[in-house]
């Protein structure tokens, strides 16, 4: 070991300072030897890591051993009594130097080496100022001179979840640092310098080469830096080596939805968007790739939609919802639309003020104003339960009542009759079924006079008495109540007394005869007369119907007509409930009687539990005026050359409709619930996919099912014929696409195979124009391509960017980017369809909206026209063959809406 001039040999030591100098020299030599050894080891590990392609493995395996050796060395020095300042006033700092500095040099070099890249590259800072700031603290830490700073016993290591950090090292004697404050500003960034040769060994005045090394610091600063997507509250702020193996999951990545975070790579010509955090890669067509600008905004189309016709009626679960207006139109509702239908003229008008399911309707005594009440919808702000009063001639809204006052939905409403309709009563379908009375003419939002608890049980009907002012009758489960509104605005209730008679489980309907007596029907099939002004039974007639009485109607000429919900019979009685002998039974396919309303002359309007409306008389018979589906509706297909379309639903029925005459051509009862439908290119064959995996092929003219197949045990989600009619593709919920070859007469189907590769159920299919390729979407937002003849996946998705597709029903494609809202969930858009002229695209979403876009919808910010009418998720939309109309189907609302493209 080389010594400085004047050094004293060990055998001749005469002072403690000489001993300390010798120890310092020995320590420096030990540090240099250890540095050299570790440089070689780190270099070897670096080369090995480079060969393996993973520098992190190398650094992690070295760090623990390095820190262990440092602990042993420093503890050994500290055990000798520490170091004191030399005669020249310099000290030998050891806190962050030595071989740890050498290791930092290697890490810095590694960051800028072949494995560094942008992932590990961090800014390097000038360290002269940092070192000068820390030198005084180090002197105080290592010397025996008293200081005001707190002392640390032993060595503290800021081991972290990262191997390096860009924040300045905290090697003072202050407490172990944590993550920087939100206001922490790092030193200015400088460009990384090239790797320098090893600096010469310093002289005794500096005592070590520690000042040339990058300092270790808290890795909490690195993991929490915005550059690395970290969080200030990251669990990796814990100073533990265990965190080296914890992989950081950025919470920002879990929040990416829709097109908000979409990016476009101009070099690879691909667009990346996210659905529920999952990246979707879409390839731009060559014709658009060079000029594509993701920031542009597409304007809405010049064409618009106008509601042309509504197929359906809500009779399955709503009562007292069918009336005749003086205009000759019957008024009823389905979904969020009030329909005014003139049967003789075959015309419809529509009131579209509501935003969700309409549950009740009432006619003002002047027969011109109509009140309708809706339930709460998807949008808590725009779709709150409320009542709308509107003019049946102009369809203008007169007043809106109770927006924000009702809890769930309005199940019953009625105008007062004895005072000319000044008041309106309403029952909220909440737990307490509150009844409220409104002076609806005070302002645009009316004035609520009173509100009180009606019944803990279900309330089915509420009606103002036609002859007595301020008297209301309500009925429902196990009760009938007679209410009186006094001058002070308080409601008083008297319960109906059944005495020793059988109390029914439900009082199902209420009406009033010309004398003012109350007539009720119940679940026992009985009719009861309650004398005017009393709450006791005046007369009971048992067994009028076999099953519950769902409707009672008092005709102008004094007779009473009742309808049975189970026996489907309409029975006429006189005003005292004596049988007249005149009755009629509706067909079985129409269902039970839901409501009976008086029409012109002896005409009756009858709504049924299977969503049909019949018109006629008991003497002449009844004919079907309109028919609707009964259960959730998913299957929709249009005829290739005629203005016709088919619908199929969970009610096991297949219907063929004519869009010009707005009529049902034929209906076919199926043995299973239907999920999907398709029509062959020549229009002769209809394919229906069922929820059990079965599918039927039937003749569109004779309705004869000529073949049945089964593919899996899950629903057939989507069916598509190839443009040339030679192939049939069926997408199943079992994640497979089944391909069939059609025979010459399209009546024989031979299975070619199945396309396997999706990890979730199939949602949409499209054929290429040449009938050779197929693309598919799945429930986990995959976009895959297939060779249909071989049932093999095409792995090079980029080669599909310029394929011409015969249709565009896949919601995940480059041409449909803009249909996804910025915060879209992957299930928000259920269906889309491109017009045959390739100028428009329509979508069906979960919020009851039908939207119309300019095609192609390649911009994330694409404007559109949005239309309400459906109250449930819209399951499908399809343009007719000539693009003159658009058909949309609802799910739970069972409605079919026909839109004119104008």
**Residue 103 domain-assigned (yes or no):** no
Residue 427 and residue 405 in contact, taking contact as beta carbons nearer than 8 Å: no
Partners of residue 245 on adjacent β-strands: none
CA distances from 808 to 189, 298, 867 (A): 50, 19, 21
Stated as kind and residue range, the H or E segment containing 520 is strand 518-522
State residue 86 phi and psi, 5-degree precision.
-80, 175
pLDDT band at 206 (very low <50, low <70, confident <90, very high): very low
Query: Which segment of 40-44, 192-196, 447-451, 550-554 scores lowest on mean pLDDT?
Result: 192-196
Exposure class string for 13-25: b at 16+ Cβ within 10 A, else e: eeeeebebbbebb
Residue 149: per-residue pLDDT:
40
Residue 39: per-residue pLDDT:
73
State residue 799 phi and psi, 5-degree precision.
-75, -10
- Of 495, 530, 553, the one marking the end of a domain is 495
pLDDT of 662-678, one tens digit each?
A: 999 999 999 999 999 99
User: Are 297 and 358 within one domain?
Assistant: no
Residue 24: per-residue pLDDT:
67
Q: How far apart are CA 261 and CA 705, in angstroms?
A: 49
**Residue 858 domain-assigned (yes or no):** yes
CA–chain centroid gap for 452, Å, is: 37
pLDDT band at 445 (very low <50, low <70, confident <90, very high): confident
CA distances from 784 to 211, 718, 774, 795, 810 (A): 58, 15, 8, 8, 11
User: Are 663 and 782 within one domain?
Assistant: yes
Stated as kind and residue range, the H or E segment containing 108 is helix 98-111
pLDDT band at 131 (very low <50, low <70, confident <90, very high): very low
User: Are 673 and 797 within one domain?
Assistant: yes
User: Are 846 and 717 within one domain?
Assistant: yes
**Residue 449 domain-assigned (yes or no):** yes
User: Are 269 and 374 within one domain?
Assistant: no
**Residue 167 domain-assigned (yes or no):** no
Q: How far apart are CA 336 and CA 382, in angstroms?
A: 13
Provide the greatest CA pair distance for the chain. Answer: 140
Residue 12: per-residue pLDDT:
46
Residue 535 has a CB neighbour count (10 Å cut-off) of 16
Partners of residue 279 on adjacent β-strands: 274
pLDDT band at 61 (very low <50, low <70, confident <90, very high): low
Residue 38: per-residue pLDDT:
72
Q: Is the pLDDT of residue 598 over 60?
A: yes
- Of 495, 511, 540, the one marking the end of a domain is 495
Q: How far apart are CA 464 and CA 480, in angstroms?
A: 14
Range of the domain at 269: 265-305+630-901
pLDDT band at 152 (very low <50, low <70, confident <90, very high): very low
Radius of gyration of the chain (CA): 41
pLDDT of 674-689, one tens digit each?
A: 999 999 999 999 999 9
**Cis status of the peptide bond prior to 608, with omega within 30 of 0:** no
Q: How far apart are CA 528 and CA 540, in angstroms?
A: 4
The vertex-192 CA angle with 189 and 194, nearest 5°, equals 160
**Residue 625 domain-assigned (yes or no):** no
pLDDT band at 11 (very low <50, low <70, confident <90, very high): very low
- Of 487 and 649, which is predicted with more confidence? 649
Q: How far apart are CA 466 and CA 512, in angstroms?
A: 7
pLDDT band at 210 (very low <50, low <70, confident <90, very high): very low
pLDDT band at 204 (very low <50, low <70, confident <90, very high): very low
Q: How far apart are CA 795 and CA 812, in angstroms?
A: 17
Closest by CA position to 411, among listed 458, 379, 478, 470: 458
Closest by CA position to 208, among listed 30, 53, 438, 66: 30
pLDDT band at 114 (very low <50, low <70, confident <90, very high): very low
Residue 299 has a CB neighbour count (10 Å cut-off) of 11
**Residue 144 domain-assigned (yes or no):** no
User: Are 359 and 291 within one domain?
Assistant: no
- Of 468, 495, 522, the one marking the end of a domain is 495
User: Are 673 and 780 within one domain?
Assistant: yes
Any idea which residue has 């004596």 for tokens?
Answer: 578
Q: How far apart are CA 656 and CA 668, in angstroms?
A: 9
pLDDT of 272-305, one tens digit each?
A: 988 888 889 999 999 999 999 999 999 999 999 9
Contacts of 290 (CB under 8 A, 6+ apart): none
Closest by CA position to 596, among listed 587, 604, 584, 585: 604
Q: Is the pLDDT of residue 174 over 70?
A: no
Sign of CA dihedral 181, 183, 187, 190: positive
- The count of domains in the chain is 2
User: Are 797 and 648 within one domain?
Assistant: yes
- Edge-first strand order for the sheet with 865-867 is 829-834, 840-845, 850-854, 865-867
What is the pTM for the complete model shown? 0.72
**Residue 635 domain-assigned (yes or no):** yes
Partners of residue 509 on adjacent β-strands: 521
Residue 493: per-residue pLDDT:
93
Q: How far apart are CA 65 and CA 86, in angstroms?
A: 32
Residue 355 and residue 383 in contact, taking contact as beta carbons nearer than 8 Å: yes
Tokens encoding 74 = 């420093």
Tokens encoding 411 = 């199940």
Tokens encoding 215 = 């300092």
Residue 670: per-residue pLDDT:
94
Q: How far apart are CA 504 and CA 501, in angstroms?
A: 9
- Which CATH number is 299's domain given? 2.130.10.10
User: Are 668 and 752 within one domain?
Assistant: yes
**Residue 69 domain-assigned (yes or no):** no
User: Are 269 and 405 within one domain?
Assistant: no
User: Are 271 and 407 within one domain?
Assistant: no
Q: Is the pLDDT of residue 180 over 60?
A: no
- Edge-first strand order for the sheet with 410-415 is 410-415, 423-428, 434-439, 447-453
User: Are 357 and 462 within one domain?
Assistant: yes
Q: How far apart are CA 61 and CA 49, in angstroms?
A: 11
- Of 670 and 59, which is predicted with more confidence? 670
Tokens encoding 661 = 């005459």
Closest by CA position to 514, among listed 526, 532, 496: 532
Any idea which residue has 């519950």 for tokens?
Answer: 548
Q: Is the pLDDT of residue 367 over 60?
A: yes
pLDDT band at 757 (very low <50, low <70, confident <90, very high): very high
| Number of residues written out for the chain | 902
Tokens encoding 80 = 């000798």
Residue 348 and residue 335 in contact, taking contact as beta carbons nearer than 8 Å: no
Q: How far apart are CA 507 and CA 21, in angstroms?
A: 107
Note every long-range contact of 562-565, with CB atoms under 8 Å and residues 24 or more positions apart, other chains counting.
Answer: 562/521, 562/527, 562/596, 563/592, 563/593, 563/594, 563/595, 563/596, 563/606, 564/525, 564/592, 564/593, 565/508, 565/592, 565/593, 565/594, 565/609
């Amino acid at each position: 070991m080389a010594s400085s001039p004047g050094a004293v040999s060990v055998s001749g030591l005469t002072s403690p300072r000489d001993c300390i100098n010798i120890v310092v020299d020995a320590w420096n030599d030990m540090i240099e030897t250890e540095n050299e050894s570790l440089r070689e080891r780190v270099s070897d590990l670096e080369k090995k890591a480079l060969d393996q392609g993973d520098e992190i493995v190398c650094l992690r395996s070295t760090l623990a051993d390095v820190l262990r050796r440092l602990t042993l060395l420093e503890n050994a020095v500290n055990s000798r009594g520490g170091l004191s300042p030399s005669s020249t006033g310099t000290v030998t700092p050891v806190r962050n130097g030595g071989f740890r500095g050498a290791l930092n040099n290697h890490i810095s070099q590694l960051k800028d080496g072949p494995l560094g890249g942008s992932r590990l590259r961090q800014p390097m800072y000038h360290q002269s100022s940092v070192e000068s700031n820390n030198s005084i603290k180090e002197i105080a830490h290592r010397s025996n001179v008293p200081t005001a700073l707190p002392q640390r016993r032993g060595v503290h290591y800021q081991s972290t979840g990262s191997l390096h950090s860009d924040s300045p090292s905290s090697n003072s004697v202050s407490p172990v640092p944590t993550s920087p404050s939100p206001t922490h500003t790092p030193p200015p960034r400088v460009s990384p310098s090239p790797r320098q040769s090893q600096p010469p060994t310093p002289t005794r005045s500096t005592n070590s080469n520690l000042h040339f090394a990058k300092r270790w610091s808290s890795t909490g600063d690195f993991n929490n830096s915005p550059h690395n997507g970290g969080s200030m509250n990251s669990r990796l702020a814990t100073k533990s080596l265990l965190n080296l193996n914890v992989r950081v999951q950025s919470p920002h990545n879990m929040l990416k939805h829709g097109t908000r975070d979409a990016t476009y790579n101009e070099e690879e010509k691909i667009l990346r968007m996210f659905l529920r955090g999952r990246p979707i890669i879409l390839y731009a067509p060559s014709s658009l790739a060079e000029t594509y600008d993701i920031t542009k905004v597409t304007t809405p189309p010049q064409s618009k939609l106008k509601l042309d016709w509504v197929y359906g009626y809500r009779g399955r679960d709503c009562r007292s919802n069918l009336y005749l207006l003086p205009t000759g139109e019957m008024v009823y509702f389905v979904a969020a639309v009030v329909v005014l239908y003139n049967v003789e003229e075959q015309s419809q008008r529509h009131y579209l003020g509501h935003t969700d399911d309409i549950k009740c309707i009432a006619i003002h005594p002047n027969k011109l104003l109509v009140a309708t009440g809706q339930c709460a919808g998807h949008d808590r702000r725009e779709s709150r339960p409320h009542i709308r009063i509107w003019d049946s001639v102009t369809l203008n809204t007169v007043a809106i009542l109770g927006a924000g006052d009702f809890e769930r939905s309005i199940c019953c409403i009625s105008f007062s009759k004895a005072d000319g309709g000044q008041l309106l009563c309403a029952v909220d379908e909440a737990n307490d079924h509150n009844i409220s009375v409104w002076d609806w003419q005070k302002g645009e939002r009316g004035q609520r006079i009173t509100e009180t608890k009606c019944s803990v049980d279900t309330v089915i009907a509420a009606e103002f008495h036609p002859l007595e002012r301020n008297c209301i009758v309500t009925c429902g489960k196990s009760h009938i109540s007679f209410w009186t509104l006094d001058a002070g605005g308080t409601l008083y209730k008297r319960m109906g007394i059944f005495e020793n008679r059988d109390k029914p489980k439900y009082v199902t309907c209420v009406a009033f005869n010309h004398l003012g007596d109350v007539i009720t029907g119940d679940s026992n099939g009985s009719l009861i007369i309650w004398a005017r002004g009393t709450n006791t039974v005046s007369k009971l007639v048992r067994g009028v119907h076999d099953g519950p009485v769902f409707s009672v109607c008092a005709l102008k000429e004094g007779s009473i007509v009742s309808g049975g919900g189970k026996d489907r019979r309409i029975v006429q009685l006189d005003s005292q409930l004596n049988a007249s002998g005149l009755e009629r039974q509706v067909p079985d396919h129409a269902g039970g009687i839901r409501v009976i309303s008086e029409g012109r002359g002896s005409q009756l309007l009858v709504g049924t539990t299977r969503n049909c409306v019949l018109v006629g008389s008991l003497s002449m018979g009844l004919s079907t005026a309109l028919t609707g589906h009964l259960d959730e509706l998913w299957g929709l297909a249009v005829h290739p050359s005629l203005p016709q379309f088919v619908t199929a639903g969970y009610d096991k029925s297949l219907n063929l409709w004519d869009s010009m005459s707005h009529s049902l051509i034929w209906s076919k009862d199926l043995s299973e619930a239907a999920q999907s439908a398709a029509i062959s290119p020549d229009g002769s064959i209809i394919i229906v996919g069922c929820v059990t995996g079965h599918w039927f092929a039937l003749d569109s003219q004779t309705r004869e099912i000529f073949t049945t197949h089964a593919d899996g045990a899950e629903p057939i989600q989507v069916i598509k014929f190839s443009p040339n009619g030679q192939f049939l593709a069926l997408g199943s919920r079992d994640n497979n696409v089944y391909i069939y070859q059609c025979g010459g007469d399209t009546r024989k189907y031979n299975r070619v195979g199945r396309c396997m590769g999706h990890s979730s159920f199939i949602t949409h299919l499209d054929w290429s124009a040449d009938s050779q390729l197929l693309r598919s979407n799945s429930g986990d937002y995959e976009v895959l391509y297939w060779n249909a003849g071989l049932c093999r996946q095409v792995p090079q998705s980029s080669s599909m960017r310029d394929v011409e597709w015969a249709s565009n029903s896949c919601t995940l494609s480059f041409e449909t980017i803009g249909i996804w809202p910025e915060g879209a969930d992957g299930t928000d858009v259920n269906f889309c369809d491109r017009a045959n002229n390739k100028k428009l695209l329509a979508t069906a979403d979960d919020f009851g909206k039908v939207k119309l876009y300019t095609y192609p919808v390649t911009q994330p910010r694409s404007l559109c026209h949005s239309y309400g009418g459906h109250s449930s998720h819209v399951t499908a939309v399809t343009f007719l063959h000539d693009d003159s109309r658009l058909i949309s189907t609802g799910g739970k609302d069972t409605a079919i809406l026909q839109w004119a493209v104008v």
